[in-house]
Structure 1
């Protein structure tokens, strides 16, 4: 059965900024226009360890995660050119760059990319309408920010770096509703972040995961978002592979890997996790990095603009005496996405 199509031509698009008047912006265009040059100042909440999943809740997540995956033929359609692979990659570039600028966490970026993948896998979008993939990427990131972030910027502020297309509020609302309905309103998506603390705890003798291992895990999870072949894995399988890679070290890595996997096989398929481990290791070897490199200063994925992954997940100064050091949005609080940290959510300049 062919994927349903949507007439994106009914959505308003313009190639200049005339769609936005001074009342929309709250001031003149000249006063408001800015680029994503430097990240805005972000003060992370206190570092709080997230509550570990119970065995029962973990099994519920694993049962439901299949509802948060793209259609099974999505990867093949991207590879054979039926879908716009380049548009997907450019959208991820923009999401990561915007996420860094506004201080969004890795989970927010991951959610946005997965919203986009799930949508593209079931709705036909014409390649010649380049603005439609930009509109989709923007709305996916904006929805993810509303779901996951404490402070959500105005939609017009998030478009200031867009030199080609600008979208009005009505167009954005219409597209957001289309995304929500297409994804069956399943926006609290199950991701590898949902499992990582539980699996790290399991493979490390029921010890609470420390900050370094969480940061390393976040970095590895985010490194998988671009690769098409990682889409074949369930979130639990990616999380299990990452937990094993972060936890094993020293000699006899094969033996240690087998031992760590033995602690997780009641939750995930061993063969798929091993395949995922091999693919991540290939990714690491291609970048000249390793699973233990938590403080590297070069971008983990070469295609990522301005070292976004490092800035989102890694770059931090562990020396408390250097209080004026530049830190990434997530630097001092890798667990800022925990339920406790976001129990009280305030949204500034929320338009809808």
Structure 2
């Protein structure tokens, strides 16, 4: 049966408390060394590239597998580039298989980087599966969104849909930051909904926060810490986007001005183009 990231325990008889208990089983461990942070960041970039044609939930699940895998591994200070790429390819492959999505190893590796054959990918998949103890039905924040959204009591379905959509967007964006591993999936879901509600219905935020904080399953954990981090991240991301937009506009204007004046680009005559050579990796050595 196809895996449903919103309802990962579909195959089992379960009550609401069981999903909150199950989230403790496979929590990734936060490892904040420079090597871990760098490896994770670059692997996520590769996963985003490999999974760009799939449902975004496949990419999210792949990064979840990555985080759980990295929790069990010691990352060398300077890992070989092909190792990072192989791990990323395998995480996407496993996530696609869980969602019964069509996965073509050739299509995924069409960017011209290191190429892996099916046997190499399969061997690495087994390594990852072993590290994850074959527990592939990950509990993610999406598993709790429907539960917490019921606390908001919006009678207008369109408003509820808007709240859900914005919370999902916040959850997706939060995954790229390693700090997200400090929080349980349920807390991330609750905080994302609070952040979305503060954007969409700011006057009702105090009552929503009170309702969620009174939830039996999270009453000992104040979601405000995660919420404040999310709000800060959204603000920082917006500032970066605004700055980049302004720089791009200025750069465009500057380039146009140079062209009008008959000037060439500032590419040095001593610089030579860099060409990337494709490589084929047939084994793990």
- Asked if these proteins are the same fold (TM beyond 0.5), I'd say yes
Candidates 84, 87, 102, aligned match of 2:36: 84
Query: Is 1:283 aligned to 2:241, yes or no?
Result: no
* Deviation of 1:252 (Å): 4.5
Candidates 72, 76, 90, aligned match of 1:139: 90
Partner of 1:64: 22
Per the alignment, in what secondary structure is the counterpart of residue 15 of structure 2?
Answer: helix
Q: Distance in 1 between matches of 2:202 and 2:63?
A: 37
Query: Is 1:112 aligned to 2:70, yes or no?
Result: no
Could you list the runs of 5+ residues in structure 1 that have no partner in the other structure?
Answer: 1-48, 290-297, 303-352
Query: Is 1:233 aligned to 2:183, yes or no?
Result: yes
Partner of 1:255: 206
Partner of 1:187: 136
- 5 Å-filtered alignment, 1:1-352, equals 57-71=15-29, 74-75=30-31, 78=32, 80-81=33-34, 83-100=35-52, 102=53, 104-126=54-76, 127-148=78-99, 150-163=100-113, 165-204=114-153, 210-248=160-198, 249-250=200-201, 252=203, 255-263=206-214, 265-269=215-219, 271-288=221-238
* Deviation of 1:176 (Å): 0.5
* Deviation of 1:97 (Å): 2.6
Q: Distance in 2 between matches of 1:288 and 1:299?
A: 5
| CA separation of 1:195 and 1:250: change in aligned 2, threshold 3 A | closer
RMSD value over aligned CA atoms? 2.9
Q: Distance in 2 between matches of 1:99 and 1:147?
A: 14
Per the alignment, in what secondary structure is the counterpart of residue 186 of structure 1?
Answer: coil
* Deviation of 1:240 (Å): 0.8
Per the alignment, in what secondary structure is the counterpart of residue 189 of structure 1?
Answer: coil
TM-score by length of 2: 0.72
| CA separation of 1:157 and 1:182: change in aligned 2, threshold 3 A | same
Q: Distance in 1 between matches of 2:213 and 2:70?
A: 36
Q: Distance in 2 between matches of 1:196 and 1:135?
A: 32
Could you list the runs of 5+ residues in structure 2 that have no partner in the other structure?
Answer: 1-5, 245-285
Q: Distance in 2 between matches of 1:192 and 1:125?
A: 26
| CA separation of 1:252 and 1:205: change in aligned 2, threshold 3 A | closer
How many residue pairs align between the two structures?
Answer: 231
Verify the 8 A CA contact 2:213 2:219 in the aligned structure 1: no
Q: Distance in 2 between matches of 1:210 and 1:258?
A: 16
Verify the 8 A CA contact 2:90 2:124 in the aligned structure 1: yes
Output one character per residue of 1:51-78: Cα deviation in whole Å (capped at 9) or x when no partner. Answer: xx9xx6321111011112113xx33xx3
* Deviation of 1:155 (Å): 1.2
Verify the 8 A CA contact 2:96 2:102 in the aligned structure 1: yes
Larger relative contact order (Cα-Cα within 8 Å, sequence gap ≥ 6): 1
Output one character per residue of 1:165-186: Cα deviation in whole Å (capped at 9) or x when no partner. Answer: 1111111111111111110111
**Higher-Rg member (1/2):** 2
Q: Distance in 2 between matches of 1:218 and 1:157?
A: 28
Higher relative helix content:
2
